[in-house]
């Protein structure tokens, strides 16, 4: 089970969370990673935690002021990137371009989508994984596996019908170990979460609770 913690732009200490991810990862069979803000990637990667970017743009080296270049993200220490998070939406052609850019820089990719139909379209672009995240549940503490389990099962089927090598993750409202187990029972191979760890008083304890049932 892959657990990817997205720090968004929350006012947390990215190093504290990264060290928690690193330490808890060593105690479990689950795979843990953290996605900090772009300006924190290098410092977070230096902790030894598996580090991801929150976004890369569909660009190459050149005149691209204010964009995130995949090669620069990789040089800073990231090993993967989210693409098309519901808070950083892209057009389909740009999602494709971002996946190609990430591949060029040897970054693993997780393309986010709102529903099973979008998951199928995203899987057709050949990312390493897709993640279904109904936006109305993000940050609510109510997991999609509880609010609408059919969304997860249908997303798994949609991806498999297109490319059975594309893994499916689920996100939105994930905050407990039971949520992670439920996601796995529905066919997901990982979860995305944010506030459940990034806003926790003790990120390490929050992560330990997440992986304890696995």
Sign of torsion over alpha carbons 18, 11, 199, 122: negative
Question: Is residue 103 flagged as an active site residue?
Answer: no
Q: Which CA distances in Å does 48 have to 73, 174, 192?
A: 16, 24, 20
The response to whether 95 counts as a known ligand-binding position is no
Catalytic residue among 46, 71, 133, 212: 133
The response to whether 6 counts as a known ligand-binding position is yes
Query: Which residues are bridge partners to 109 per DSSP?
Result: 81
Question: Is residue 71 flagged as an active site residue?
Answer: no
The response to whether 199 counts as a known ligand-binding position is no
Catalytic residue among 16, 85, 87, 108: 85
The response to whether 195 counts as a known ligand-binding position is yes
The response to whether 7 counts as a known ligand-binding position is yes
The response to whether 173 counts as a known ligand-binding position is yes
The response to whether 59 counts as a known ligand-binding position is no
Token representation of residue 106: 């040897």
Q: Which of 136, 141, 37, 51 is nearest to 86 (CA)?
A: 136
Residue positions in the annotated binding site?
6-8, 138, 173, 194-195
Binding site as annotated, residues for substrate: 6-8, 138, 173, 194-195
| Residues designated catalytic | 85, 133
């Amino acid at each position: 089970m892959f657990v990817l913690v997205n720090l968004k732009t929350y006012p947390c200490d990215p190093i504290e969370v990264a060290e928690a991810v690193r330490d808890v990862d060593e105690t479990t069979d689950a795979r843990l990673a953290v996605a900090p803000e772009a300006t924190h990637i290098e410092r977070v990667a230096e902790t030894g935690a598996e580090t991801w970017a929150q976004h890369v743009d569909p660009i190459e080296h050149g005149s691209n002021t204010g964009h995130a270049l995949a090669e620069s993200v990789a040089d800073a220490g990231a090993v993967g990137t989210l693409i098309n998070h519901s808070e950083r939406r892209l057009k389909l052609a740009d999602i494709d371009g971002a996946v190609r850019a990430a591949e060029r820089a040897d970054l693993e990719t997780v393309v986010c989508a709102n529903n099973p139909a979008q998951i199928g379209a995203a899987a057709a672009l050949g990312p390493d994984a897709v993640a279904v995240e109904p936006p109305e549940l993000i940050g609510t503490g109510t997991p999609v596996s509880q609010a609408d389990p059919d969304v997860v099962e249908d997303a798994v089927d949609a991806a498999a019908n297109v490319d059975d090598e594309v893994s499916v993750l689920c996100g939105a409202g994930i905050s407990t170990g039971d949520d992670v187990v439920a996601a796995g029972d529905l066919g997901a191979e990982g979860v995305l979460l944010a506030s459940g760890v990034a806003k926790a008083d003790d990120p390490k304890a929050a992560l330990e609770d997440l992986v304890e049932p696995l």
